[in-house]
Amino acid sequence: MPSPTLPPSSLPLPGTAPLETPPSVARPTVESDLLPLPSLDQSFSTSEEGIIAINTFARSHGRARSAKVQSDEAPEPKQRSTSHVPLDRCTFGMVLRLQESEWVMSVKIPYHDHPPCPASGSPIHRALELAKIRDEVEKKLREGITASRIIAEIHEQSPESCLGVHDIYNVRGKMKMKMKTVVGES
């Protein structure tokens, strides 16, 4: 049986449209890709305060920002040799810079290349929310209340909560690890 001939790489496969090379920075295609910007005249005493303020603002717009520490002296990161290019990297760019003794924010790229996402899909938003109620969650876990009951109570008290039962399981797992460490040190 003869092997099928493959179409030249410059031609699209039958039934498909030719792929366009994405520009280095994608422009917004719909109004929802534009994010209203927070007030840029704010300053913060720590970078953590700035990150929390940015994510608090971004959450109400279905966005989140992760923190990347970058130094002018840091070497360029090595590119992985992969056979595909990820298409889900967000182009939005906001920077916190230390100027004298304050952290100030500036915007590098003011738009996103994807629609808004629910806060429950963002580890950053879940971590910020969980940090506020961690002691209460740990207390309930020590009392023997199940993770599903704890999350139900959280959602009853705060319907806009982005936490899921897996976040409670993670708290329980960290508590167990801490107990093993304490017992092992005795």
Asked if 129 and 174 sit in the same domain, the reply is yes
Same-domain check for residues 126 and 104: no
pLDDT at 165: 92
Please name which of 44, 37, 42 lies closest in space to residue 94, comparing C-alpha atoms: 37
pLDDT of residue 13: 44
What does each of the 186 residues of the chain score in pLDDT, given as a tens digit? Answer: 454 444 444 444 444 444 443 444 445 455 545 566 666 677 888 888 877 777 777 766 666 665 555 555 555 555 544 443 343 456 667 778 888 888 887 777 666 666 667 667 777 778 888 989 999 999 999 999 999 999 999 999 999 888 999 999 999 999 998 888 766 665
Q: Let me know if residue 73 belongs to a domain.
A: no
> Residues of 44-77 as b/e, b for ≥16 C-beta within 10 angstroms?
beeeeebbebbbebbbeebbbbeeeeeeeeeeee
Which two three-digit tokens encode residue 60? 């109400």
Domain identity same for 47 and 97:
yes
Same domain, 98 and 162: no
pLDDT, one tens digit per residue, over 120-134 is 777 777 888 898 999
The Cα diameter of the chain in Å comes to: 74
100 and 44 housed in the same domain: yes
Claim to verify: residue 106 and residue 123 sit in the same structural domain: no
Looking at the fold, whether 168 and 131 belong to one and the same domain comes out as yes
Q: Are residues 170 and 129 in the same domain?
A: yes
Q: What is the pLDDT of residue 90?
A: 63
Residue 168 lies in a domain: yes
Whether residues 94 and 137 share a domain: the answer is no
pLDDT of the residue at 26? 46
The answer as to whether 16 is a domain residue is no
Q: Do the domain assignments include residue 123? A: yes
165-185 helix and 123-142 helix, angle to the nearest 10 degrees: 60
Q: Answer whether residue 138 is part of any domain.
A: yes
Q: For residue 112, what are the domain limits?
A: 33-66+89-116
What's the confidence (pLDDT) of residue 171?
93
Q: How many domains does the chain have?
A: 2
Q: What is the dihedral of CA 19, 22, 26, 28, to 10 degrees?
A: -10
Helices of type H across 47-164? 47-59, 123-142, 147-157
pTM: 0.50
In a domain, 60, yes or no: yes
Q: Which tokens belong to 183? A: 């017992």
